[in-house]
Amino acid sequence: MSIELFGLEDIPLIDGDSDISQIIKQAIEKQGCGLNHGDVVLIAETLISKAEDNFIHLDDLELSAFAMELAYKSGKDPRLVEAILNESNEIVRIGPNFIITETKQGFVCANAGIDESNVGDGLATPMPKDADKSAREIREYLEDEFGEEIAVIITDTQGRAFRFGAIGTAIGCSGISPIWKRVGEKDLYGRELETTEIATCDELSAAASLIMGQADEGLPVVIIRGFDSFDILRNPYSNIKPVLMPKEADVFRK
């Protein structure tokens, strides 16, 4: 099996209230790549938040005493700490230059997933309000325009427990199941798999992150073509919830 990954090169800088579905369609047409059955379109979450005019104006935030306290403990900008608190359900851990929280969307990640890169001074972008909804709307539009069954994944860059470095991670999806349950299949030696579940959307997101980059690459939309398991995982009603571990099952938060 082989797959192809390529970035859309004609996505303009977006600073709010834009039709991202139409922008992606136009970029696909200009690049001449079209969309094929089984293509997976991966979109950086910052692009979604910016297109949906979802900005945090850091200078407008009223700082609480708790935010000032956490800023002192973590070494972070008090304005950003206040934004983190506003976007979170719970603080999980505090460390040097990071605050791990559970976001309002249910993700456990550093700094509530708030991003200060690739936006103007004094601005930050929180996670999309509903990345599954955004993915579904974009997928349905592109499927109608190109007449092919595809998937859309919204990606974020997140760290991992016990490992340095960040990778691409799925925070929203549509058209493809985020988890591939392979329990009951056989391995190379004929043994039956008993617990194997693959976070396929995260694997696809990590692959796309190699193209998207983290600096000035300017490729926030990546298409993965030739993913042979698309039809196995095809699900027009999917969302990201199956990858989220409930707190009672998370041994690191007990």
What does the alpha-carbon distance between residue 103 and residue 57 come to, in Å, rounded to a whole number? Answer: 19
Q: Residue 223: is its pLDDT beyond 80?
A: yes
Structure tokens, 37: 């059955």
* Helices (H), ranges, 75-169: 78-86, 131-146
Between residues 159 and 88, the one the model is more confident about: 88
pLDDT value of position 86: 95
Compute the Cα dihedral for 61, 135, 238, 6 and give only its sign.
Answer: negative
Q: Show the tokens assigned to 193.
A: 């798999």
Write down all domains in the chain, each with its CATH number in brackets.
4-54+128-249 (3.30.1330.100), 56-123 (3.90.1660.10)
- Region at 38 (left for phi over 0; alpha for psi -120 to 50; beta for the rest): left
**What pLDDT is attached to residue 35?**
97
Question: Which residues pair with residue 212 across a beta bridge?
Answer: none
The β-bridge partners of 103 are: 88
Cβ neighbours of residue 159 under 8 Å, at least 6 residues apart? 109, 110, 165, 166
pLDDT per residue as tens digits for the range 95-129: 888 899 999 999 999 999 998 877 778 889 999 99
In Å, what is the CA distance from 219 to each residue of 5, 12, 27, 106, 222?
Answer: 12, 10, 11, 27, 7
Give the lowest-confidence range in 126-135, 136-145, 213-222.
Answer: 213-222
Q: What is the pLDDT of residue 215?
A: 55
Please state, rounded to an integer, the average pLDDT across all residues of the chain: 91
User: For residue 234, what pLDDT is reported?
Assistant: 97
Q: What's the pLDDT at 216?
A: 57
* Short-list 96, 113, 140, 102, CA closest to 54: 113
